[in-house]
């Protein structure tokens, strides 16, 4: 098993090593949203299905010699497509559909090598089964997932920190060439083994002595349609729980970098445990685990703020683990004989694609919140009920079985409905009493929710925009307070002080703002000013114009307020290359408020772009508030390397201001070479020393950056 196991392990390692590698290339182009990774997962699942279908067709219609020639020949031809470095031409335009663009980009860049690597596990297992009849190849699947897990965990801690992106691409390409050599040796050994045994092509050889368990697998009856449907359902549920948990953690709990590693690692771990040996799966334990998962999900939904981040990660990790153990454990229990191995894996990948399509494509268009998590948990509960009831019914007399099945299906459907609807209802019940949801919209970039707070108190009545756990803007509804700059942009905040100091020098200003929110900064606009907001999510602009008044009231005062859709860096690059507009007096970078961190907006190359879009004495204000990351060393390095001076302006509002929604704590860094601006008395008064324990300097480039370098020890 050693040579075949090594081939399966290396193939899986390369398969999962390329996933974060290619994601790091393209994440900046699409705003760094967690949904970019979800779309990538959909592509990976689809390629896995294509690879498994290819392996199934190859083993079904081709002899061993032709299988070896075709597969090794295609692997050799795919070397011509390496290294896998996406062309900048794939950068999206504002009118492009992000999901389709990502899928096409991935297909053109890594499609062929990924497709061939995907076929490795079932194809090599089939070769092993033919070379060593009587020995079960299913443990090789556990080894395959072990390789995937090692690749996933080693990338951020080893490869990303040690090598730049082009170097990673070339190293991966060299390893891929080595994998081709390894597959060729496996094929040669298979042909030699077949010749040695004197077997006919495609014939299942007699079972060797001393292998009763393997023999029982070989003589299993051919799978029925119900068996195939059951495989697909179990695989789809596992994928749904993986992707739904990833979405919930990354957008509803915390946007910690690489948080998606935890769900994917647990998902792979359940495959390793279940496929290593059937004895590791205990149905009764997992059944109790699913019941406990329902209670924990309800508890964390009702009292989310009562659970610290570590506890929430543990709870969601436990829920995902027991659900995937149930699905994958039942998959192992229902596995067919070796003769139908490739069909089995083909159906597993089919279920994975269907689950990915549901979460990545259907759910954002059908739901206005992350309901798929509750639905997936409900479905896992139904699986437990189904398998227990199925085994009990099989022991009944034939004439009693139809009635028992009808009762079982009715009870299962009722249970599923209660769970699927109950958990979201608990979430709504747990909302603060003084808050009412005005609207909720969901798209590729996540769920946007507008809540109305203290509607019964006119002086405090306000609307707020929330994305995940982050408040993106607040506006009071009373006319006398409608223009009050709130949240992170209050007059006492770093950006508020900056605007007031700059107003002393310029009666009218040109200001660019990366990140629209609800347009709060337009509260500072006066007659003759020009404010240009850069926003990647069209829904944000729609909500800012329809539900909030900052933009419209600024225009009524004589200011020009424009929103430009698309990734800010791409739009700014286009503006600078065409030199079509005058530079800005102030450029505000406001995409870092505890949200998914768009690293591409913090690299040296991007800061050169900022300097190019500012006047010689212009000001750059960077919002670095974040519960989990300390971004100050990066901004400090890019500022000092450009010969400019940086001020650190933290703001902690009073408890009353925070309670009323008038202000939120914020950290801003203001950068300029304008001594007259920097010497402003009010600005100097709010300047504070740099955070203790923070690095002095840290350089990020488009080629090299690592979010683990700036993780806070105590968020």
Report residue 565: phi and psi, to 5°: -85, 150
Q: Is residue 633 part of a domain?
A: yes
Assess whether pLDDT exceeds 70 at residue 200: no
Structure tokens at 424: 């979201």
Q: What is the mean pLDDT of the chain?
A: 84
Residues 349, 486: one domain? no
Assess whether pLDDT exceeds 90 at residue 411: no
Residues 231, 214: one domain? no
**pLDDT tier, 365 (very low <50, low <70, confident <90, very high otherwise):** confident
**What average pLDDT does the segment 145-170 reach?**
88
**Nearest Cα to 303, choosing from 429, 419, 454, 422?**
429
Entry pTM = 0.79
Residues 284, 240: one domain? yes
Q: 344 with 53: CB under 8 angstroms?
A: no
**What average pLDDT does the segment 379-393 reach?**
78
Residues 215, 238: one domain? no
Q: Identify the CATH number of the domain in which residue 232 sits.
A: 1.20.1250
Q: Is residue 515 part of a domain?
A: yes
Residues 214, 262: one domain? no
**Nearest Cα to 326, choosing from 281, 390, 376?**
281
CA separation for the pair 162, 165 (Å, rounded): 10
Residues 378, 504: one domain? no
**Structure letter (DSSP) for residue 360:** I
CA separation for the pair 535, 20 (Å, rounded): 26
Q: Is residue 227 part of a domain?
A: yes
Residues 610, 620: one domain? yes
Q: 31-57, pLDDT tens digit by residue?
A: 666 677 778 888 998 898 899 899 989
Instruction: Using CA atoms of 53, 57, 60, 61 in order, give the dihedral in degrees to the nearest 10.
Output: 180
**What average pLDDT does the segment 163-191 reach?**
91
On the 0-12 / 13-18 / 19+ scale of CB atoms within 10 A, 421 is middle
Question: What pLDDT is recorded for position 31?
Answer: 65
CA separation for the pair 511, 492 (Å, rounded): 19
Quickly count: other Cβ atoms within 10 Å of residue 279's Cβ. 6
Assess whether pLDDT exceeds 80 at residue 256: no
Question: What pLDDT is recorded for position 410?
Answer: 61
Residues 199, 247: one domain? no
CA separation for the pair 617, 615 (Å, rounded): 5
**Nearest Cα to 349, choosing from 50, 26, 25?**
50
Residues 7, 139: one domain? yes
**For residue 678, what are the domain limits?**
482-710
Among 397, 430, 463, give the residue marking a domain's end: 430
Number of domains, the chain:
3
Q: Is residue 456 part of a domain?
A: no
**What average pLDDT does the segment 155-171 reach?**
87
**Structure letter (DSSP) for residue 689:** P
């Amino acid at each position: 098993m050693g040579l075949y196991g090594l081939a399966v392990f290396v193939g899986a390692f390369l398969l999962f090593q390329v996933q974060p590698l290619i994601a790091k290339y393209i994440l900046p182009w699409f705003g760094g949203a967690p949904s970019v990774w979800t779309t990538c997962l959909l592509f990976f699942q689809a390629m896995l299905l294509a690879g498994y279908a290819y392996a199934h067709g190859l083993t079904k219609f081709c002899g061993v010699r032709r299988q070896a020639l075709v597969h090794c020949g295609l692997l050799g031809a795919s070397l011509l497509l390496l290294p896998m470095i996406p062309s900048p031409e794939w950068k999206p335009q504002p009118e492009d559909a992000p999901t389709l663009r990502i899928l096409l980009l991935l297909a053109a860049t890594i499609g062929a090598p990924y497709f061939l690597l995907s076929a490795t596990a079932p194809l090599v297992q089939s070769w092993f089964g033919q070379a060593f009849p009587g020995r079960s190849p299913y443990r090789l699947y556990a080894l395959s997932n072990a390789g995937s897990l090692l690749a996933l965990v080693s990338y951020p801690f080893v490869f990303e920190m040690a090598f730049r992106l082009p170097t990673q691409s070339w190293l991966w390409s060299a390893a891929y060439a080595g994998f081709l050599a390894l597959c060729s040796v496996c094929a040669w050994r298979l042909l030699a083994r077949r010749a040695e045994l004197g077997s006919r092509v495609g014939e299942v050889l007699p079972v060797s002595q001393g292998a009763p368990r393997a023999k029982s697998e070989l003589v299993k009856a051919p799978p029925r349609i119900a068996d195939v449907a059951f495989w697909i359902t179990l695989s789809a549920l596992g994928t749904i729980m993986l992707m739904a948990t990833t979405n919930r953690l990354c957008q509803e709990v915390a946007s910690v970098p690489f948080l998606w590693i935890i769900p994917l690692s647990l998902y792979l771990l359940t495959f390793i445990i279940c496929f290593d040996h059937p004895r590791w799966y205990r149905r009764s334990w997992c059944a109790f685990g699913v019941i406990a998962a329902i209670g924990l999900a309800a508890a964390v939904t009702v009292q989310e703020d009562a659970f610290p981040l570590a506890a929430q990660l543990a709870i969601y990790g436990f829920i995902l683990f027991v659900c995937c153990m149930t699905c994958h454990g039942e998959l192992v229990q229902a596995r067919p004989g070796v003769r139908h191995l490739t069909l089995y894996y083909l159906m597993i990948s089919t279920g994975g694609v269907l689950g990915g399509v549901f979460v990545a494509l259907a759910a954002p268009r059908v739901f206005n919140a992350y309901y798929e998590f509750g639905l997936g948990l409900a479905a896992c509960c139904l699986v437990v009920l189904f398998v227990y009831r199925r085994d009990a019914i099989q022991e009944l007399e034939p004439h009693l079985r139809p009635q028992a099945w009808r009762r079982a299906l009715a009870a299962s459907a009722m249970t599923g409905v209660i769970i699927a609807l109950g958990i979201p209802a608990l979430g709504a019940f747990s909302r603060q009493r003084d808050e009412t949801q005005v609207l909720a919209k969901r798209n590729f970039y996540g769920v946007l929710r507008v809540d109305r707070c203290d509607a019964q108190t006119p002086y405090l009545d306000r609307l707020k925009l929330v994305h995940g756990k982050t408040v993106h803007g607040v506006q009071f509804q009373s006319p006398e307070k409608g223009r009050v700059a709130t949240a992170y942009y209050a007059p006492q905040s770093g950006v508020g002080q900056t605007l007031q100091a700059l107003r002393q020098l310029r009666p009218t200003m040109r200001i660019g703002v990366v990140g629209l929110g609800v347009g709060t900064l337009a509260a500072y606009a006066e007659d003759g000013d020009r404010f240009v907001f850069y926003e990647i999510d069209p829904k944000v602009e729609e909500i800012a114009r329809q539900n909030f008044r900052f933009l419209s009231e600024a225009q009524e005062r004589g200011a020009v307020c424009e929103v430009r859709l698309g990734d800010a860096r791409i739009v700014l690059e286009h503006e600078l290359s065409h030199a079509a507009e005058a530079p800005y007096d102030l450029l505000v970078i406001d995409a870092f408020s505890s949200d998914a961190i768009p690293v591409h907006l913090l690299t040296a190359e991007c800061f050169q772009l900022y300097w190019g879009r500012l006047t010689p004495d212009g000001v750059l204000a960077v919002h670095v508030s974040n519960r989990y990351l300390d971004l100050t060393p990066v901004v400090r390095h890019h500022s000092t390397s450009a010969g400019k001076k940086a001020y650190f302006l933290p703001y902690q509002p009073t408890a009353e201001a925070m309670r009323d929604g008038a202000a939120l704590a914020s950290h801003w860094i203001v950068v300029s070479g304008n001594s007259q601006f920097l010497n402003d008395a009010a600005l100097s008064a709010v300047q504070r020393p740099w955070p203790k324990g923070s690095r002095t300097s840290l350089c990020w480039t488009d080629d090299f950056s690592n979010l683990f370098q700036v993780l806070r020890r105590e968020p």
